Amino acid sequence: MCGICGFCFPDERMINFDTLKNMTMSLKHRGPDDEGYYTDAGIALGHRRLSIIDLDTGKQPIHNEDKTINVVFNGEIYNFPDLKKELEGKGHRFYTRTDTEVLVHLYEEMGEGCLERLNGMFAFAIWDGKRKKLFLARDRIGIKPLYYAYNGKDIAFASEPKALLQLPWVDGRLDPLGLSHYLSYDFIPAPYSIYKDIRKVPPGHQAIYQDGNLQCNPYWDLDLSDRLEDELDEEEICDLIWGEFCRSVKTRLISDVPLGVLLSGGIDSTSVLAALRHEGVNDIKTFSIGFEDSSFDESKYFRRAATFFETDHHEEVLAPHKLVDTIPEVASILDEPLADASIMPTYLLSRFARGHVKVALGGDGGDELFAGYPTYQAFLLARYYAKLPQVLKSFVEVVVKRLPVSFENMSFDFRAKKFISGIAYPPLERNYIWLGTFSSDEKDELLVPDIMKRPNNINSFGVLHDYLKGKTFNSELGELLYLDTKLYLQDGVLVKVDRASMAHGLEIRVPFLDHHFVEMVTGLPEALKLKGFTSKYIWKRAVKDRIPEEIQKRGKKGFGIPVGKWLSRELKKLMLELLSERRLKKQGVFNPSAVKTFVDDHLARRVDNRKKLWNLLIFQLWWDSFGSRS
């Protein structure tokens, strides 16, 4: 795990090494162990290293035998031992033991087709000196980030936007379309960003830059037509997906440094422990975070899992002030706003785990693959709701709106009101009303007229339909699962995990997102994922006798924090300061009267506006650190 950056000029003008150094040093948190550079006419590559494999000779950039091909790489290639053996058999000579060197030799053999052979999480840049070509690529699922800036002639790339902002020709001003997407989704979907001049290489894409021209194209997508054989019964499917999951976990154990597991006490992270035991791993370190607020605390479950699997368990129970005090610190690492409040405990858990290990396995991805979120159950419930007589629906909506506000985690009134807020929308849009924050009508009131000059600034749902264009699905649920993988997982969950962990130089590996496993699960009928109102049906059956029963039967809770309560108490002063009329007028982005209504209603407990206010609060903290240049 590392930080990469660089830039390329087609006219081969002189490289400013100080600029390259500044870009690279801005990524030091991603790679605290070492730094490396490569420069030549018109090309500059920078690298910050977190040493995981080949601690002694794995310094980057890494080159081929005649030094005409150089690479900077972030991530892990899990099948590199097999690839290395194959390449050595073809005459390639290696000078390191690191997985990174496989890239340059595989590129020599296959060109851009090398991506087909890679199993891992990665973002990399290969400079082909003979062809004067820069080759950028990002892993299939988007576990590792890759941003770029291209002005029609020159190009720069980096693991995070903050490195690109070191370049004088990169416009760091606010992109209204990126802002609109953020307000809708709580994150900014690829290829967009919050900055006018910066874009993301989407997951499963490659970007080729040569002679001043840039082409960005997909090399992989989920194969929606590849279905498992119908003659397999449920027991055989369970054996199949469990075996593939164990293989995925086993391949992620390659490391020359200590390794642990981030344990939430949910089904997925506990399943990682079960797979480790199945593979004969005995010395397992686990790390967990608990909360003093009982409605958010999962200590009962992660302690049960740690005891059941007899792990070397480490935990920390957090008081509210510890999380609240960390908010400005966490906001400072977000060079793009991200309104997922669970980044706070993820950040603290990563810092806690990093005190013991450099690598940890996590359970992310299981909910998107197996329909584990409550929104999927709400999707089914909406079908029944649509069949009710209008008079009864009107009655239900009146009753729900009058429910007293509770700030408890996933309280009934919060879920019921979220359900009603999205019920009038088509299924795809409804799902993201439930997951997201501001509707188009609310953004119409919230944003000042200057931000709204472009018509497409307000309706962000076009992104959903862009992803589905030209694809055929067996069901609406299949569409939702695909979109949640392409949007919520890739640009929300994985960004959160990457930023929170890399802020402390901790590498997190995600066995659920091995692309072979993802492809297999995508081939399962949707009815095996959501059976009736039972979410993750087939996965729960696959692990039924492998994890403690109380964990297998528990409901979905999520890794949240009591934002609703805090905005009325511990965070009230900060919220009132950052969302004050004086500040908002000076900023010129949000309508102060609309924001005041959100604040007043929340403090009076008329409306639970936790998501709206947290979204705005995070934007304001981002603005102070990165956006005020606008």
Question: CA 492, CA 185: separation in Å to the nearest integer?
Answer: 9
Q: Do 211 and 69 share a structural domain?
A: yes
Asked if residue 15 has pLDDT above 50, the reply is yes
Residue 81 maps to a domain: yes
CATH of the domain at 16: 3.60.20.10
Question: CA 267, CA 287: separation in Å to the nearest integer?
Answer: 15
Asked if residue 455 has pLDDT above 50, the reply is no
pLDDT in tens, 85-127: 999 999 999 999 999 999 999 999 999 999 999 999 999 999 9
Q: Do 165 and 106 share a structural domain?
A: yes
Asked if residue 258 has pLDDT above 70, the reply is yes
Interacting residues of 384 by C-beta distance below 8 A, sequence separation 6+: none
Question: CA 327, CA 520: separation in Å to the nearest integer?
Answer: 39
Q: Do 578 and 542 share a structural domain?
A: no
Summarize the confidence of residues 588-604 as an average pLDDT: 95
If you ran DSSP here, which 8-state letter would residue 32 be given?
B
Q: Do 240 and 105 share a structural domain?
A: no
In this prediction, what percent of the chain has a pLDDT beyond 70?
A: 94
Q: Do 245 and 98 share a structural domain?
A: no
pLDDT band at 54 (very low <50, low <70, confident <90, very high): low
Pull the structure tokens for residue 68: 């005409």
Asked if residue 500 has pLDDT above 60, the reply is yes
Residue 440 maps to a domain: no
Domain count across the chain: 3
* Of residues 129, 145, 248, the one with CA closest to residue 199: 145
Q: Show which of 154, 187, 218 is a domain's final residue.
A: 218
pLDDT band at 174 (very low <50, low <70, confident <90, very high): very high
Summarize the confidence of residues 67-76 as an average pLDDT: 96
Residue 329 maps to a domain: yes
Q: Show which of 218, 247, 280 is a domain's final residue.
A: 218
The CA distances from residue 319 to 129, 132, 235, 258, 289, in Å, are 54, 55, 44, 29, 11
pLDDT band at 295 (very low <50, low <70, confident <90, very high): low
Q: Show which of 499, 518, 553 is a domain's final residue.
A: 553
Residue 415 maps to a domain: no
Q: Which helix (H) or strand (E) holds 418?
A: helix 412-422
CATH of the domain at 489: 3.40.50.620
The dihedral sign for the CA sequence 444, 447, 448, 450: negative
Q: Do 577 and 518 share a structural domain?
A: no
Residue 514 maps to a domain: yes
Is the full-model pTM beyond 0.85? yes
Q: Do 154 and 300 share a structural domain?
A: no
Q: Do 168 and 307 share a structural domain?
A: no
Lowest mean pLDDT among 68-82, 244-258, 571-585: 244-258
Lowest mean pLDDT among 49-63, 130-144, 184-198, 343-357: 49-63
pLDDT the model gives residue 426: 86
pLDDT band at 400 (very low <50, low <70, confident <90, very high): confident
Q: Do 277 and 352 share a structural domain?
A: yes
Q: Are 144 and 137 a contacting pair, CB within 8 Å?
A: no
Q: ∠191-339-299 over CA atoms, to 5°?
A: 125
pLDDT in tens, 523-555: 999 999 999 999 999 999 999 999 999 998 876
Q: Do 84 and 34 share a structural domain?
A: yes
pLDDT band at 556 (very low <50, low <70, confident <90, very high): low
* Of residues 463, 403, 406, the one with CA closest to residue 431: 463
pLDDT band at 324 (very low <50, low <70, confident <90, very high): confident
Residue 318 maps to a domain: yes
Residue 8 maps to a domain: yes
Q: Are 278 and 546 a contacting pair, CB within 8 Å?
A: yes
Question: CA 600, CA 567: separation in Å to the nearest integer?
Answer: 11
pLDDT in tens, 225-255: 757 656 788 999 999 999 999 999 999 998 7
Q: Do 364 and 286 share a structural domain?
A: yes
Q: Do 205 and 131 share a structural domain?
A: yes
Residue 575, domain extent: 562-630
pLDDT the model gives residue 343: 93
Asked if residue 83 has pLDDT above 80, the reply is yes
Edge to edge, the sheet with strand 69-77 lists: 62-63, 69-77, 120-128, 133-138, 205-210, 213-218
Q: Are 296 and 560 a contacting pair, CB within 8 Å?
A: yes
Residue 395 maps to a domain: no
